[in-house]
Structure formats: C-alpha cells, structure tokens
Structure 1
Amino acid sequence: MVLVAGDDVDHDLLQAAPALSRIASDAGFITTPAAGMQRFVDPFESTANQDVFLLYKAGGEFTPAQQEAFAERIRNGGGVVALHCSNVMGSVEPDAANSFATWFGVLGNHYLSHGPGYHKGMQRIEVVAQHPITEGVSDFELYDEFYEFEFADGDHEILAQRRRDQDGEIIPVLYTRELGAGRVVYLALGHDMRVWGDPSFQRLVRQALNWVAHRS
C-alpha cells in the first residue's frame, strides 16, 4: 500500500500517490494507493490485507490508538518504508496530548529542522554500507529538501549520509531498523517529483520495499 497522508501544502500529496505507486509496481508489488492514517483500527479489507507500506506522510491526524495498531502490524512481521516528511510529528513525550511517541518508537526518529542555510539545495549522497537496499547504488547527487532529525534510540543501521556544506557535519539520510518480526526503513529524501524521478532514489526505494518484505 502506497499510503499518502497529511495537510502540509508544501508537499505535493496529489502527485505523490501515482509517482510512488509506479516505483512500488516496478519493484514487483501489486500496489494499492490510499490516503489517511486513520485505517489501522478496525481496518477495511484493503488495509487489513497489506503487509508492506510505502509512506509519504506530511502532517495530518494519526491518533495514538492508530499508531499502536500500526506498530502491532509491523511487530508481527509487516514492513514500512517511510519517506522524507513522514518523520514530522508533534510531541514525542508519551504523556502529551496527541502524543506521537508510539510512531517515534516505530520509525526511530523525529524531524528537528532543515539545518542552516536555505532549506533546499543540491545534496551529495554517500553510500556508507553494503546492504541489499544499497546494492548497485553508488554515491549520487540530487536537488532535495534538507532534513535533520533525532534518533529515538541506537537501534538502527545507517546506510547513506550527506555532509553539510556549511561545516562538513555528517547527516544520516537512510537507515534500517527492526521491530519485533518487522522491518522499518527511513529515507530522508523525497520532497517532490524532481526526486521521485531520480534513478538512484527509485532504486533505493524499490530495494527497500523488497527488504522490508523479506524478498530478495
């Protein structure tokens, strides 16, 4: 399921669904596009039958009960590849009103800022680990929105990174983690069509989908 959700007008939710669905289909998946995060508690058949989710979430509602139902789906062997703005959330404190603590624990990070300087620009992505997701992908450049984030814990493997132009600080852009029997991938790239059409981005997403689905 290619799941698009949110209310952030800076992200092209309408174009995301077909563009990302094509990538998932090219990876060999029977793909269902869908909208909204209010689908995991008492789900319709179209959601209940899904094992793998490609997520582009730009704000919007995601209640704690829905977060927990989604988390349980992943713990039981599901997989999620979350892109770019899917880490933008409210409070990650467990007791806060409308807390995103459960989603923080599933995804493994939450957004902090765009970093110094203008919020978009050319990025050189360095592949730093051999992994089924990065197989056949060399370092590459693309124009995208800069994202910096905080990890939930140390349970992750960083596969790719970039370096800030201003000071050379290393910023992760792609990592994996496991949750029970399930698998999670976060890729900080993917703001708009310029990125969705990039061959290296597409290959990373295809291979990430196969990895979370336990497919070679």
Structure 2
Amino acid sequence: MARVMVLVGRDRYGDPWHDHAATSDAVAVLLRDDGHDVTVRSVFPDALDDVGRPDLLVVNCGQGPLDTADADAWRGFHDRRAALVDDGVAVLGLHQAANTFGDDPRWAATLGGRWDDDVSWHPPLGAARFRVVDATHPVTDGLDDVDAVDERYADLRVADDAHVLLVADVSDDDGATRAHPVVWAAAGPGRVLYDALGHDVRSYASPSRRALLRREVAWLLDA
C-alpha cells in the first residue's frame, strides 16, 4: 500500500471549465480500490504543511496565474512541493496540470512540459483515441490504444528529454494530421509522468483509460 496525495485545483489554481473535485474523486476511488492510502486535498497555501513524505503526489489542478500577484502567500507551498520533488517523491500530473502553477517555473521543469496559451489548443471534447507510440515502456507494454470521451491536447511545449508514450492524432485547419504527445515520462530525481487525459469524469468511465492510469501509478511507485 502506498501513500498518495491528490492535490485538487480551486480558486487560484482552478478554472471554470473543469470539475477538479469530481475528477480527483474518480482518481481517488480507483486508487483506493487498488489498496492505496489516498488523501485528497484542495490547494491552499498550507496544503502541504503536514503531509510528510507521500509515495506519490498527484496534481489535478487548473489554470494558474502567470503573474506574481499574491506570490508571497504561495511561495511556501511551491517550495514544499519542489522539496518533495527534489527528495524523489513520484509525481503524476493530470490534464490541466500542464497549465497550472504558472507562477512557479519549477513546476513546468518538473513536469517536462507545459501548455502555452500562444500555441496550445485542442479540438472539441468528444470520443477520442490516444495512440501508444512506445510499446516497450512498462506503462505501455501490452497496453492497447486508449479510447475515452476526452480532449486531445495539441501543441504542448514538451521538453526534449521527455519520453513520449502516447500521442493524439489531431487534424490542423489545413487538414494535415499530426501526432501530438499527450502522455510522457519526464526526467527528475524521482519518477515523473504527465497524462493529458481527464477533462471530466467521462474519461475515467473508460476501461482503457483506467487501465492506463493504473499502469502509470504502478510504474511511478515502482510496483
């Protein structure tokens, strides 16, 4: 049994397009069913003050500010989060995690990529397929492509050393179809993985999406 902390987006790190509470609950239910000790906590400046050292930190937060307003009030939170990463705590960023904590550049460096408002986008939410491109990694070895009602993120800024596992095939305005990384492992002191799926609870209703999440967690925990 692993100790898992799920951080839920709200207010400063929330947005009107995502029900982070509902999707975090879906993740927590799945992980508890697998026997893990899961704590779900909304993000506040003191949210990490008393967590000790979890085995896995799951970040399911929304669009965060790029400016420095109220930065002093949140500096301690970001320092504690960064300290957990430096200590080798495994990290899983879900969906909007690529667009959160924009006031702390250490987060994008941890995640191995980010959403860029100038170039990143997605087609309308709907039935989507996410294609495995590395069938040898422990997360994807033996995993079929993932089908879910979800968003297909496109043109994320992805670090050169990120290890891409799944892509979304998305057609541009000119009709050309390109493969866009949506799940990758990032370099770090501990294991770090970003998974762009999870817009709402319909994503977690998909058996193949749940299988992907379970594999991700198993790898992150080295189980």
Q: TM-score, normalised by structure 1?
A: 0.83
Give 1:138-177 correspondences, 5 Å limit: 138-148=144-154, 149-151=156-158, 153-166=159-172, 167-177=176-186
Identity %: 26
Are 1:198 and 2:202 counterparts? no
Distance in 1 (CA, whole Å) between partners of 2:62 and 2:114 is 13
User: Unaligned stretches of 5+ in structure 2?
Assistant: 66-70
Confirm or deny: 8 A CA contact 1:68 1:102 kept in the other structure.
no
The one-letter code sitting in structure 2 at the alignment partner of 1:176 is A
- Cα offsets for 1:97-150 (capped at 9, x unmatched): xx32111111111113224xx432332211111222123320132221232310
The one-letter code sitting in structure 2 at the alignment partner of 1:19 is A
Q: How many residue pairs are counted as aligned between the two chains?
A: 201
Distance in 2 (CA, whole Å) between partners of 1:49 and 1:90 is 20
Question: Equivalent residue for 1:132?
Answer: 138
Distance in 1 (CA, whole Å) between partners of 2:61 and 2:127 is 23
- SS of equivalent residue, structure 1 residue 28: coil
**Following TM superposition, by how much is the alpha carbon of 1:33 offset from its aligned partner in structure 2, in angstroms?**
1.2
Cα 1:173–1:75 shift into 2, 3 Å: same
Question: Equivalent residue for 1:96?
Answer: none
- Cα offsets for 1:137-177 (capped at 9, x unmatched): 201322212323102x3221101112113421110111002
**Following TM superposition, by how much is the alpha carbon of 1:25 offset from its aligned partner in structure 2, in angstroms?**
1.7
Name segments (4+ residues, structure 1) moved above 4 Å: none
Distance in 1 (CA, whole Å) between partners of 2:101 and 2:42 is 20
Question: Equivalent residue for 2:68?
Answer: none
Cα 1:200–1:102 shift into 2, 3 Å: same
Question: Equivalent residue for 2:105?
Answer: 101
- Picking from 89, 93, 107, the partner of 1:82 is 93
Distance in 2 (CA, whole Å) between partners of 1:206 and 1:186 is 14
The one-letter code sitting in structure 2 at the alignment partner of 1:172 is P
Q: TM-score, normalised by structure 2?
A: 0.81
